[in-house]
Structure 1
């Protein structure tokens, strides 16, 4: 099946929280036909109506499935409980999703194989609950799942080996590069487990490697992350999703430039 280009809505989170309808209209105006929502349980009906109004679909979305409480983007924990699996998957149905992806788990849970086994059990349990709704689940990486290694194998690959075959992966190409991993080789090893990637570029300047939020991100194709090679190595790719964690500039112009980069790759 052709790869669908999408955009992770956290990229425009400030604009979205201020003006949901206007932000989705702006993304549609920049040529997107699909988005990947985050924090969608509390606003599923509102979001679904706005997406429909602007001709957008949301086949994938992010929601915590393997954590008891929300985890901040910098990896620190909170005491705020996450929605139940039933709440997540019911909201996903409202939005017409087919895949709900856990955005990450805390870095402190990647220090042993036993901890990774626990995460795998939680995701496999979520897959059972999702199947009742006709959905599948996945996992999205940051850097720490790849920086952790066990007998020379990255933590993400250890996880992949423990997951039910129904659980898929969404590989973040920027975070893989930031972890020092050869992402095309990683995608080759993970094979058809990878159905989605976050297409995110950066200069990987030395100062950026220790900063959070990362300050080196640039539109796709303007940095040093091997995006084209990684996309070529993804043998079962369904979704190429544009994302920025932070960007010092016109974010709508940046996501459009990234979409054009993907369009040009697809046309080769």
Structure 2
């Protein structure tokens, strides 16, 4: 089975209440890898929890593109054994034109070089608007990817790419080995989740309609996303289970996704 991880943002309420207990439960469920988020602010806490459970963190999410001191992020990542740092959010307002795409790619390329100085790789994680927003009929994400340096990497959120109207397996095949990780999530891909956007300040700040739509996400293999085709299109990528939200017990949700992957992702 390929490397399987879980984005700890899925468990953000439990992490906020007791990070150590939340991470320990992830290990009990059977995960061997996790993807921390906002780890710079809690690097000592994550370090302690990972050491106690033996969990590895091959990748992690942190805001880097817009921060004044990116080296502080990379230093924290190296401390936690994170080898791939992913910036998870640049709002739709900055994905409108070909020039926007080039500016963002140039910044990612610059940060890729800085990350390499710490022995790390750096890249970006999409939402839906990078595919919904078009330039001359092309998703702006395609233009962004064309301007990336060979060393820059991508984590493709396959759910959000699908929501944005992309053929996610085709996107993964086109990008090839540049895709080092994929977010594996499933659910409904139409309605409010396709049209309502988060705040331009943060992906964590969402209106009620979008929050409600998040609750329709389901474990892998139970929704509208062609997860088997996605997995087949990116055999090299770390599989990172994620829920933006979940109507039931999210620990049961990540357990169900792991069980499905163990059965179907050979």
TM-score by length of 1: 0.90
Aligned mates of 1:16, 1:215 — CA distance in 2: 19
Q: Could you tell me whether the CA contact under 8 Å between 1:45 and 1:94 is conserved in 2?
A: no
Which residue number corresponds to residue 220 of structure 2? 220
**How far is the alpha carbon of 1:163 from its aligned partner?**
0.7
Structure number having the greater strand percentage: 1
SS in 1 for 2:210: coil
**How far is the alpha carbon of 1:207 from its aligned partner?**
4.5
**Which one of 174, 191, 199 corresponds to residue 206 of structure 1?**
191
Are residues 1:124 and 2:109 paired? yes
Aligned mates of 1:191, 1:153 — CA distance in 2: 19
Which residue number corresponds to residue 27 of structure 1? 26
Q: Could you say if the C-alpha distance between residues 205 and 143 of structure 1 is closer, same or farther in structure 2, counting changes exceeding 3 Å? A: closer
Query: Considering only aligned residues, what root-mean-square deviation do their CA atoms show, in Å?
Result: 1.4
Aligned mates of 1:65, 1:262 — CA distance in 2: 31
Q: Could you tell me whether the CA contact under 8 Å between 2:231 and 2:265 is conserved in 1?
A: no
Which residue number corresponds to residue 265 of structure 2? 266
**Which one of 112, 116, 121 corresponds to residue 136 of structure 1?**
121
**How far is the alpha carbon of 1:234 from its aligned partner?**
1.4
Number of residue-to-residue matches in the alignment: 251
| 1:176-201 deviation per Cα after TM superposition (whole angstroms, max 9, x unaligned) | 11111111111111122111100000
Are residues 1:174 and 2:154 paired? no
Question: Map of 1:56-135 to 2, 5 A cutoff?
Answer: 56-67=55-66, 82=67, 84-135=69-120
Q: Could you tell me whether the CA contact under 8 Å between 2:192 and 2:210 is conserved in 1?
A: no
**How far is the alpha carbon of 1:215 from its aligned partner?**
3.0
TM-score by length of 2: 0.91
Q: Give ranges in structure 1 of 5+ residues lacking alignment.
A: 68-81
Q: Could you tell me whether the CA contact under 8 Å between 1:126 and 1:137 is conserved in 2?
A: yes
Q: Give ranges in structure 2 of 5+ residues lacking alignment.
A: 196-208
Aligned mates of 1:190, 1:8 — CA distance in 2: 22
